[in-house]
Amino acid sequence: MSEPLVFLLLVAVALLASTVSAVAGFGGAMILLPVLVAVFGVRDAVPILTVAQLIGNASRVGFNRREIRWPVVGWFALGGVPAGVVGGVLFTKAPLPLLTRLIGGFLLLVVVYRHVAKPGERRVRAWWFAPIGAVGNFLSALVGSVGPLTAPFFLAFGLVKGAYIGTEAFTAVVTHVTKLAVYGGTAVLTVDNAATGVMLGAVLMVGSYFGKRLVDKVSERMFALLIELTLVAAGLYFLVGG
């Protein structure tokens, strides 16, 4: 595929990912990740996705900064930063087939988790976000993003609307900054990867705008179903192909 076609493909998928995420409430990174892996390979795809997510989440922090719950952010960072460093180092050294299969298995796990998790049954406390951050950041450094797995805990804490969006986004910024520090220090993050990530991050911001305009016009259930089918197909492909 020629470079212009690859560029158009990435822009289209990024727009779709951010739009669907704004409508269905999940999955933007999970939609974009399989395409990045297919185009760039695992070792480059995860750093590119991390840069793009950092930009997207930073914008949401800015829009909701007055409603952020700082104790949650603090506990999350306490557990998440050191675990993210360990996960990032492992990512730079792990065999590529293993990373590809790990991402495939994770995509399938996301779909399963969405159907079995019942986060509202038990209220979590602020200090719980230290181990949640540790596990989340470690896995995020290996597979790119774990938003669908950690987001329910923010809801179970009682965060809604701007407080949920801003707080979850700020913890994501902590995650991505930690990962990028490790990736940059080990030469996994290159100038080309960073530039691609910045471009996609800008596209994600545009897609979020379109998503807001579609919320009342498109069935959330249909979006979720289509994306889950995509995640299953991509997960099986990466898991089997390696």
- At 140-194, the pLDDT tens digits run 888 777 776 777 788 778 887 778 878 988 998 999 999 999 988 877 888 999 9
Q: Domain of 80?
A: 3-241
Gap between the Cα atoms of 149 and 117, Å rounded: 9
- Total of domains in the chain: 1
pLDDT at 128: 92
CA distances from 100 to 26, 40, 95, 234 (A): 22, 12, 9, 11
List the structure tokens of 170.
């700020």
Which of 92-119 are b and which e, b meaning 16 or more Cβ less than 10 Å from the residue's Cβ?
Answer: beeeeeebbbbbbebbbbbbeebeeeee
CA distances from 213 to 15, 122, 160, 216, 221 (A): 13, 33, 20, 7, 17
In the predicted model, residues of the chain with pLDDT beneath 70 are 1-2, 20-27, 117-122, 148, 208, 211-224, 226-227, 241-242
Contacts (Cβ under 8 Å, ≥6 apart) of 33: 45, 46, 49, 103, 107, 143, 144, 145
Residue 174 and residue 81 in contact, taking contact as beta carbons nearer than 8 Å: yes
Task: Pick the closest to residue 235 from 9, 30, 13, 54 (CA basis).
Answer: 30
Q: Is the pTM of this model over 0.85?
A: no
